[in-house]
Structure 1
């Protein structure tokens, strides 16, 4: 089968690799769509921290936002999974430790990430092997495109839930990328008044501001979905006293915050790692039409075109959406 392989920093190629075989407790999925994520870009450039801690190394096969159809089941797997359309949880815990048993497998000390860490080839390929316990079935209303957006949607939903907003309250989202816009979509679906703060004017987005144009309003919660090192401190400065700031964005350098501001304002801050607890809710929201992320899709490309995207080149036919999807079976 064909798969995208990172052979070194800034080096990517499509290779013919052996088709995967489902071991005990695993399935093989024919990938329908896979998403391109900022984490994939960091793995491509060599900036991803796992490459420096030894958790990941080249050659590496990326891809952790995906959907597809089960085409083979391994020993110990219920054969009824065969033929089902699915997506899956990227975060793979040991399943036996205190954290996993409490439903926090995404922070298991032995947690590994599909398409990100060594030994777990990702879904930017025609097929991918996944532990059956990581699978989530997709209903008819959630097609392959929506299925590939479940993982980023799960992150966004967790942010909204962590913000603890009531209908009619006001949310400020810092960052207008895919995660920031998904946060806005989920928050609006729950009745919040949502504003976005970005680096440049965005007339295509409702209530989108820059630092210079941001209105002086009380923000009942702030979600930082940016990668700006100064944004975590700004979020605490802007949020209403006694309310919440949710962090999901990560900057390339350490962020500095005066905790005296956080204490004196009685602000609660929450970090979000991974989509695990938000995946099922995201599938339901997509299936019911409560959230429609399709406008985020800028283009669907082939595996051969992905490297150019990682190098910062947008496809010529791309639309305004920030998200690039890949059809692994498409050829140029």
Structure 2
């Protein structure tokens, strides 16, 4: 089969590789669509921390935002999975440690991360093998584009849940990228008054096009009481600013990761009686995201700027914008048909 393979920093190509087989407890999925994430870009550029820590080594087959159809099942797997449209969890815990047994498999010390850590090759390929336990079935109401947006949606949903927003609360989201915009959508669906803070006029204007009127740059942010602040940015100074901005007794949520150390003053946290929550993965939010998409509570498809083929992926990871791309922050890859034409807002 064909798969996208990163062989070193800035070096990648579509290669012919051995097709996966369904071992015991596994399924093989024919991948139809996959998303490109900031983590994928860092793996391509060599900036991903896992490379420095030795959790990940080249060559790497990336892809952890995906959907497809189950085409083979291994020993011990219910054959009813065959032909089902699915997506799956990125975080693959060992299943036997204390964390896994307690429901925290996404922070298992021995976990694999599909397409991110060494172990399981990712889904930017014609097929991917995953544990059946990681699967989530997609209902008919969740089309292929939505299916490949479940993983980032799960991170955003968990962030909004961690913010403990009630109807009428005012939420500020730092960073209008994919996760920030998804969090804004989930917060709006929860009945909150949503504001976003960003830098580039292009991203701010796109946020306004999604119906968010409270869109600000840092120097223009109004002095309002913020009941929750969700930091979905990669700016090292914003975690501390989030803590400064949030109302006493309320919550700050950290889902973005800066490229360098970011500091907060725990004295401020204690004196304001603030709860701070970190969000690592989508795992506990996958099913809720699928349900929200199926009900139409949240429709993130306008975030997709273009859908390209595997052969067009390397320049995108290097920072190029696909020709004819829409204004959204997310790029999708069409796998099954090796899509070579761009589709804006699809």
TM superposition score normalised by structure 1: 0.99
Spell out structure 1 runs of 4+ moving beyond 2 A. Answer: none
Q: CA deviation digits over 1:293-325, x for unaligned, max 9? A: 011000000001111111110001100111000
Q: CA deviation digits over 1:86-124, x for unaligned, max 9? A: 000000001111111111100111111000111210000
Counterparts of 1:1-332 in structure 2, within 5 Å, are 1-201=1-201, 202-204=204-206, 205=208, 206=212, 207-328=214-335, 329-330=337-338, 332=340
Structure 1 runs not aligned, ≥5 long: none
CA contact under 8 A between 2:62 and 2:115: conserved in structure 1?
A: yes
Q: Secondary structure at the match of 1:153?
A: helix
Q: Secondary structure at the match of 1:180?
A: helix
Q: Secondary structure at the match of 1:70?
A: strand
With over 3 angstroms needed to count, the CA separation of the structure-2 counterparts of 1:331 and 1:242, relative to structure 1, is: closer
Deviates more, 1:230-239 or 1:45-54: 45-54
Distance 2:56 2:264 in 1: 30
Q: Secondary structure at the match of 1:86?
A: strand
Distance 1:271 1:160 in 2: 12
With over 3 angstroms needed to count, the CA separation of the structure-2 counterparts of 1:195 and 1:331, relative to structure 1, is: closer
Deviates more, 1:252-261 or 1:313-322: 252-261
Deviates more, 1:92-101 or 1:175-184: 92-101
Q: Secondary structure at the match of 1:212?
A: helix
CA contact under 8 A between 1:304 and 1:331: conserved in structure 2?
A: no
Name 2:344's counterpart in structure 1. none
Tell me how far 1:192 sits from its aligned partner.
0.4
Distance 2:95 2:228 in 1: 34
Structure 2 runs not aligned, ≥5 long: 341-346
Q: CA deviation digits over 1:62-106, x for unaligned, max 9? A: 000000000000111111100000000000001111111111100
Tell me how far 1:143 sits from its aligned partner.
1.2
Q: CA deviation digits over 1:4-44, x for unaligned, max 9? A: 00000110100011111110000000001000000001100
Q: CA deviation digits over 1:118-140, x for unaligned, max 9? A: 12100001100010000000000
Distance 1:288 1:316 in 2: 33
Q: Secondary structure at the match of 1:130?
A: strand
CA contact under 8 A between 2:173 and 2:196: conserved in structure 1?
A: yes
